[in-house]
Chains A and B, each alone.
Chain A
Amino acid sequence: DAGVIQSPRHEVTEMGQEVTLRCKPISGHNSLFWYRQTMMRGLELLIYFNNNVPIDDSGMPEDRFSAKMPNASFSTLKIQPSEPRDSAVYFCASSFGEPGTDTQYFGPGTRLTVL
């Protein structure tokens, strides 16, 4: 299995631009998680889906952030407009079964730099 696939691996953009991060979960997994990691704030869960439905989005920072999961094999995290404080590593993870109890498998992350 290829594992969780994230693209792009690195993204550099200018303030005000739209940024779209992509994630392909492991085939057969039914839960998908988006995390953000920074030195200042550590690891934060932004949102997670179960069977393509958002379950908890309380970690989404503000209206500039949106996440979608149109089908079981694809999810996007969009930032519009982007700001320098959004610079971070964004991880996607997926799991099979109960979202809270089954093992999450993490992707390699997307390093976002907003200038």
Chain B
Amino acid sequence: AQSVTQPDIHITVSEGASLELRCNYSYGATPYLFWYVQSPGQGLQLLLKYFSGDTLVQGIKGFEAEFKRSQSSFNLRKPSVHWSDAAEYFCALYNFNKFYFGSGTKLNVKP
């Protein structure tokens, strides 16, 4: 069965530091993969998505993610975090008319 795992429930980084949020998926072939961000009291906003091709995907707000088939991972990265990046981040997978969401990672940014 397909699934999405975000192993880190909470992460705290200092402003200006680099960020990597982990996402692992369980699926036999290459799925469609997404990263969403949710600010407090808001709905989700799509950061980026991967379907095929170049395994390094660029998104909005300076985020990028790398698809690694060998590790079944789709980690989200940002070279320098801003205080406004504090939010909850969700990794998601789509295949065969079904969506699967990870449990989310809450990012806290220290001044």
Residues of chain A whose beta carbon lies under 8 Å from any beta carbon of chain B: 4, 42-45, 48, 55-56, 58, 91, 93, 99-101, 103-104, 106-109
Contact = CB atoms under 8 A, between A and B. Distances in A.
A86 to B, nearest CB: 19
Contacts of A91: 43-44
A43 B104 contact: yes
Contacts of A4: 43
14 contacts: A4-B43, A43-B90, A45-B99, A48-B99, A55-B97, A56-B99, A58-B98, A93-B44, A100-B95, A101-B32, A101-B49, A103-B46, A106-B45, A108-B43
A101 B43 contact: no
A107 B43 contact: yes
Interface of B: 32, 42-46, 49, 51, 90, 94-95, 97-99, 101, 103-104
Contact of A106 (B44, B51, B94): B44
A101 B94 contact: yes
A106 B39 CA distance: 12
Nearest to A58: B98
A100 B43 contact: no
Given A42-B104, A43-B90, A100 B46 contact: no
Nearest to A111: B41
Contacts of A58: 98
A101 B99 contact: no
A4 B104 CA distance: 23
A101 B45 CA distance: 14
A109 B43 CA distance: 7
B4 to A, nearest CB: 11
Nearest to A3: B43
B7 to A, nearest CB: 14
Nearest to A50: B97
Nearest to B101: A43
